[in-house]
Amino acid sequence: MKSVLEILKEIRPEFDFSASNDFMADGMLDSFDMVTLVAALDKNYGISIPGTEIVPENFQNVASIEALLRKSGVAA
């Protein structure tokens, strides 16, 4: 199973996501990328992230994405 960082790197290989605390403010993800990322997370972890959770706050950084995964049933 891939880590969140590995999935992010596949979507936007040009960015160093480990060096950012705010992917949106740093221009590393936009609203269209969020949709792609959700599909990749769903597939990788075998979950279905609800539409209500697809908001920028849940994709701000690696920690917030990991928190979203835990909320969606992925074991820590």
Partner 1 sequence: MRRVEKVEEVLATIQRIKTAAGSAYATNFFPTEPRLKAWIEQQELDSETTETCAFFARRDRDFFHLYYCATGDSLLREKLLTLDLVRNSPVITDLIGHEGALSTQIGAFQAAGFRPYARLLRLARTGGETSAPDAAAMFATADQVPQILALLESSFNRFSDQLPTKSELEEAARANQIVWIVADGKVGALVHFETQGFTSTVRYWAVHPDCRDQRLGSRIIRHYFALHPKVKRFVLWVRADNENAVRRYLHFGYAPDGLVDQVLANPLIK
Contacts to partner 1 by CB under 8 A: 12, 14-15, 25-28, 30-32, 35-36, 48, 50-52
Shortest distance (Å) from residue 50 CB to partner 1: 5
For residue 9, give both structure tokens.
């790197």
Residue number, 18 or 31, with CB nearest to partner 1: 31
User: Buried b / exposed e across 23-49, counting CB within 10 Å, b at 16+?
Assistant: bbeeebbeeebbeebbebbeebbebeb
Shortest distance (Å) from residue 58 CB to partner 1: 13
Residue number, 46 or 50, with CB nearest to partner 1: 50
Q: Where are the beta strands (DSSP E) in 1-76?
A: none
Shortest distance (Å) from residue 63 CB to partner 1: 18
CB atoms under 10 Å from CB of 68, counted, come to 21
